[in-house]
Amino acid sequence: MGGSSFIQLDLGQLQVTNEFSWHGCPEKDASAVHIDVLHAEILGVNMLVGINGCIGKPMIQEGQGLEVYVRRSLRDVFRKVPTFSLEVVVGLLHGMMSDKEYKVIVDCLYMNLYEQPVLPPSFRGKKSESEDTMRLLVDKVNTNSQILLSRTVTIVSVVVNKALLELCNGIQEESPLALIAIEGLWVSYRMTSFLETDLYLTIPKFSILDIRPVTKPEMRLMLGSSTDTSKQAPLENFPFLKKNSFGNAYSEGNLDMDIPVATMFVLDYRWRKESQSFVLRVQQPRVLVVPDFLLAVVEFFVPALRTITGREETMDPKNDPISKNNSIVLSGSIHRQSEDVIVLSPSRQLVADALGVDDYTYDGCGNTIRLVEETDGKGPHSGRSQPIIVIGRSKRLRFVNVKIENGSLLRKYTYLGNDSSYSVSKEDDVDIILDTLSSDKEEENTASIHETSDISNISSSLESDQSTLRSFTFETQV
């Protein structure tokens, strides 16, 4: 694919051992089996995806017990063991993948697997069609003879003790979507030179959780065993709020191996020339259907669906109204103002609603914030009241070392989410200057600051000079 997007695979430390051994009988016995066993252990494996020339964060958060066993029979006259056997064992694998990373991975696999081979021209020269046909017939006869004389068996198996995959929208994990958890996965695929195929799949525990921040704890388990309904992980155990604790919390809280649980998913498939059999068992599943979550997951794996639903256009950063109007979005706990004067209005807002940050400090560094009310009807929010300052749910914003002009607009044009608050205080070197309205209007604004409602608690302290407001705190709870 293009040079701007790429996949970087880091195998970390690879330990490889090789062992040859005889089984069954002494070496000189014709029935003795000589086996070559190759054991590879991978320590510190990781994978990174580069998007637009910038490499992303490691996708594998934790990996333990990654082992590969390759067994080959070097001598097996009576065909007692498989000709070739590959076994992959995974102890614990915890990965995180965004929608952009998923798209790059799929594109890389598609281009590498389906790329048309470019072969050099034949150096043997042109030959007649009859000679080519005769050679093909001879090769086919030789191949069929070898198949009849030598029966080969190949087995590929995968064992996964525990695997966790987090899905999120965005490269910076700012929008967690879902968690897919598998425990005790066992897959075995067997094929022979006689075109016999066996496929066995067992998944004792499989679950899909909705880890979006707005989802209630009792509504998180979308798919899982019925025994997991009363053991759903609380919100604080999820990695976007408490890093490096989810793996233990999930294994200890949700996956209790002491309680006997019926195997959730079993698949047996056998194919022979004369018969085929297919067995599928799903035992005691628990399914919760939430349309918006289901649509979001489908759009994650099928990005083309976003053009139909219109989400691709709404999620385009170019169409983000906050970035369009150059609003100030507080992404950290401390924000320092660099400009001498910043003008805030409904067209350019101050937003404090970042994921994982509850307390914000706006340090004006001795500069000025000017609040402007759009009344000319030319702005994008004309005709309706839009906030100038937006404080999200359970967020607290504190102003320090700043002068706020037109402070009478502060209360009117500040949007507060549930259990959120903001504060300005003289002790924090905050100087609030009211606008130049009439003195009666200023008295009304001053008196209104002391009002208390069922959803708000307001405390204020005013100087004798009506043109300067010393400090006040506005807080709301629901």
Average pLDDT over residues 257-269: 78
Q: For the chain, what is the domain count?
A: 2
Query: What's the mean pLDDT in 25-42?
Result: 86
Nearest of 166, 164, 170 to residue 56 by alpha carbon: 170
pLDDT of residue 370: 92
Q: Is 118 part of any domain?
A: no
Residue 284 lies in a domain: yes
- 108 φ, ψ (degrees, to nearest 5): -65, -45
Residue scoring higher pLDDT (463 or 441): 441
DSSP state, 428?
G
pLDDT of residue 214: 82
Residue 315: the pLDDT is 58
Q: Is the per-residue pLDDT at 383 higher than 80?
A: no
- Whole-Å CA distances, 65 to 19, 159, 448: 20, 11, 65
Does one domain contain both 258 and 351? no
Q: Average pLDDT, stretch 6-28? A: 86
Assess if residue 302 is contained within a domain.
no
Indicate whether 95 belongs to any domain.
yes
Domain co-membership, 367 together with 427: yes
Residue 470 has pLDDT above 50, yes or no: no
Specify whether 283 is located in the same domain as 366: no
33-37, 150-154, 210-214, 300-304: range with lowest mean pLDDT: 150-154
Give the residue-averaged pLDDT of 78-83: 81
Q: Could you tell me if 339 and 213 lie in one domain?
A: no
pLDDT in tens, 276-326: 999 999 988 889 888 889 988 988 888 878 777 666 555 555 555 555 567
Q: How high is the pLDDT of residue 147?
A: 56
* Structural domain that includes position 262: 6-112+140-288
Most confident region among 194-198, 362-366, 411-415 by mean pLDDT: 362-366
Please name every residue paired with 439 in a beta bridge, in sequence order, or none if there are none.
Answer: none
Intra-chain end-to-end CA distance of the chain, in Å: 52
> What pLDDT is stored for residue 440 in this prediction?
43
pLDDT at 252 (0 to 100)? 40
Residue 56: pLDDT band with limits 50, 70, 90 = confident
Quote the DSSP letter at residue 379.
S
Least confident of 25-34, 58-67, 129-138, 429-438: 129-138
Q: Are residues 371 and 259 in the same domain?
A: no
CA atoms of 69 and 210, how far apart (whole Å): 36
Average pLDDT over every residue of 240-260: 45
Q: What is the pLDDT, as a whole number, of residue 174?
A: 62
Q: Is the pLDDT of residue 119 over 60?
A: yes
Query: Of 288, 307, 336, which marks where a domain is finished?
Result: 288
Residues 339 and 250 in one domain: no
Query: What pLDDT does residue 126 have?
Result: 55
Q: What is the pTM for the complete model shown?
A: 0.59
Which of the two residues, 138 and 6, has the higher pLDDT score?
6
For the chain, the average pLDDT equals 77
Q: What is the pLDDT of residues 168-209, one digit of tens each?
A: 886 445 688 999 999 999 999 999 888 889 999 999 999 999
What's the pLDDT tens digit per position in 213-247? 888 888 899 998 877 655 554 544 444 444 443 44
**463 has pLDDT over 60:** no
Please choose, from the candidates 95, 97, 80, the residue with its C-alpha nearest in 3D space to the C-alpha of residue 151: 80
Cβ atoms within 10 A of the Cβ of 94, count? 21
Burial class of residue 215, CB neighbours in 10 A (0-12, 13-18, 19+): middle
Q: Does the residue 316 lie in any domain?
A: no
Query: Does 181 share its domain with 238?
Result: yes
Indicate whether 379 pLDDT > 50.
no
Comparing CA positions, the residue from 434, 437, 407 lying closest to residue 422 is: 407
264 and 408 part of one domain: no
pLDDT value of residue 327: 85
Q: Would you say residue 135 lies in a domain? A: no
pLDDT at position 198 is 94
pLDDT at 361 over 80: yes
Same domain as 420, residue 359 = yes
